[in-house]
A and B are shown apart, each in its own frame.
Chain A
Amino acid sequence: MKVAASINVRGVAGYACPQRTSSGCAPGGVLTPADDSDEALIARVGRGDRLAASAIVLRHSDAVLGLAWRMLGERAAAEDATQETFLKFWSSAGEWRPQGARVKTWLLKIAANACLDRLRRRGREVATDSPPELADHAPAADEKLMREERRAAVDAALAALPERQRLALVLCHYEELSQNDAAEALNVSVEALESLLARGRRALRAALIERLDELFMGERHGRSSIAL
């Protein structure tokens, strides 16, 4: 059956289901909003629906790549890990059951394991008590430079965290998973997740504290929310 839809990076336009109505599609084969849930898409991926697979990629590739990039610190490795994640995801899509974790959580769990494996192979983990080396720049002349310097400082501090503390922060702060989902993705209890988050935040604060006045001074008197 010819699929009346086009796929591009902006979305799956006019997504028409190539399956019959027994697959869950509305009559006429058009994907309805109810069909557009991750759960419905995964069921279709298990049946070889190319468009459903594309929709999952478009919906979650940013989150997977973002996590991999923060964990691995470089774009090429992050892209490889993202591809590996989706490969593993598809190969097990038929085993996914709706009563389990959310699809995004499942994907991020696969991505987290892929990243941890790569980091172990690299042997690149940095000890928690070694603060990041921050560049000793002259005071930034303008706001843009100041912002760049702040960004570099925070990136360095994040990169210096032990991998599981960094992973917990990425899952909770950047990917905004719930506590239960983040614990599931990390394969730990909620209590263990909270311990990782608290230690990660303390380490970040310790890493940034020496440069806080310098880096965030401009903001301290303006927006106190980003002053440390």
Chain B
Amino acid sequence: MVDPRSPSDATRAEFARLLEIYGAERRRWPAASQPVYDACAGDMTHAELFHEAAALDGALSEATSHRGDDAFKERLLADFVPRRAREAARPRRRWIRLAPAGAFAALSAMGFVVGSATAGAADEALYYAEAAMEPALTADGLWAEAP
């Protein structure tokens, strides 16, 4: 338990250690350690250390702030998110993935039916053509039996 009125040496040492780590802003300290801060922040023992830590916090805040501009965010949104979202949505649109296989099967079946019908008609046409030509061919002796 930290006594806020007269911090012990151990508390002061812990305060110094945490100043080195988290700096002089209370909100940056772990919640569990904030009683140490409250007990020692006004204590003069580590006033110089506290001042240095606060100065370093201030210096860090002087660094350039890097934030994305609107153009970059628009690129992220326009080029990236829709594509990823579509990919993520694929499982719900399974019929799209199955479409090529279905189309192939349908075309194969259609090809078989058309092919069969066409082949039957061709055989029939050939039969009638041969029947019609047979007398002439026989007369010319082309199909005559060998003597």
Choose from B65, B66, B73 the contact partner of A58 (Cβ within 8 Å): B73
Are A155 and B20 touching (Cβ within 8 A)? no
Which residues of B have CB within 8 Å of A25?
none
Chain B nearest CB, measured from A15 CB (Å) = 14
Are B64 and A62 touching (Cβ within 8 A)? no
A135 at interface, CB cutoff 8 A: no
Choose from A46, A49, A94, A216 the contact partner of B59 (Cβ within 8 Å): A216
In the bound complex, what is the Cα–Cα distance between A86 and B74 (angstroms)? 14
Are B85 and A216 touching (Cβ within 8 A)? no
A99 at interface, CB cutoff 8 A: no
A151 at interface, CB cutoff 8 A: yes
Contact count band on A: 35 or more
Are B22 and A197 touching (Cβ within 8 A)? yes
Listed residue (A8, A58, A225, A227) with the most chain B CB atoms within 10 angstroms of its CB: A225
Q: Which of A29-67 contact B (CB under 8 A)?
A: 45-50, 53-54, 57-58, 61-62, 65-66
Listed residue (B23, B57, B62) with the most chain A CB atoms within 10 angstroms of its CB: B62
Chain A minimum-CB-distance residue to B17: A198
Contact count band on B: 35 or more
Q: Which of B32-67 contact A (CB under 8 A)?
A: 51-67
| Contacts known (A61-B73, A62-B68, A147-B62); A204 close to B88, Cβ less than 8 A | no
Chain B minimum-CB-distance residue to A69: B66
Are B74 and A8 touching (Cβ within 8 A)? yes
Interface of B is mostly: helix
Which residues of B have CB within 8 Å of A219?
58
Are A172 and B76 touching (Cβ within 8 A)? no
In the bound complex, what is the Cα–Cα distance between A75 and B11 (angstroms)? 44
Which residues of A have CB within 8 Å of B65?
66
Are B85 and A50 touching (Cβ within 8 A)? yes
Chain B nearest CB, measured from A9 CB (Å) = 4
Q: Which of B68-122 contact A (CB under 8 A)?
A: 68, 70, 72-74, 76-77, 80-82, 84-90, 92
Chain B nearest CB, measured from A93 CB (Å) = 7
Contact with B along A212-227 (1 / 0, CB 8 A): 1000100100011111
Chain A nearest CB, measured from B75 CB (Å) = 8
A208 at interface, CB cutoff 8 A: yes
Are B60 and A179 touching (Cβ within 8 A)? no
Are A90 and B88 touching (Cβ within 8 A)? yes
Listed residue (B54, B55, B70) with the most chain A CB atoms within 10 angstroms of its CB: B55
Are A70 and B88 touching (Cβ within 8 A)? no
Which residues of B have CB within 8 Å of A151?
62-64
B28 at interface, CB cutoff 8 A: yes
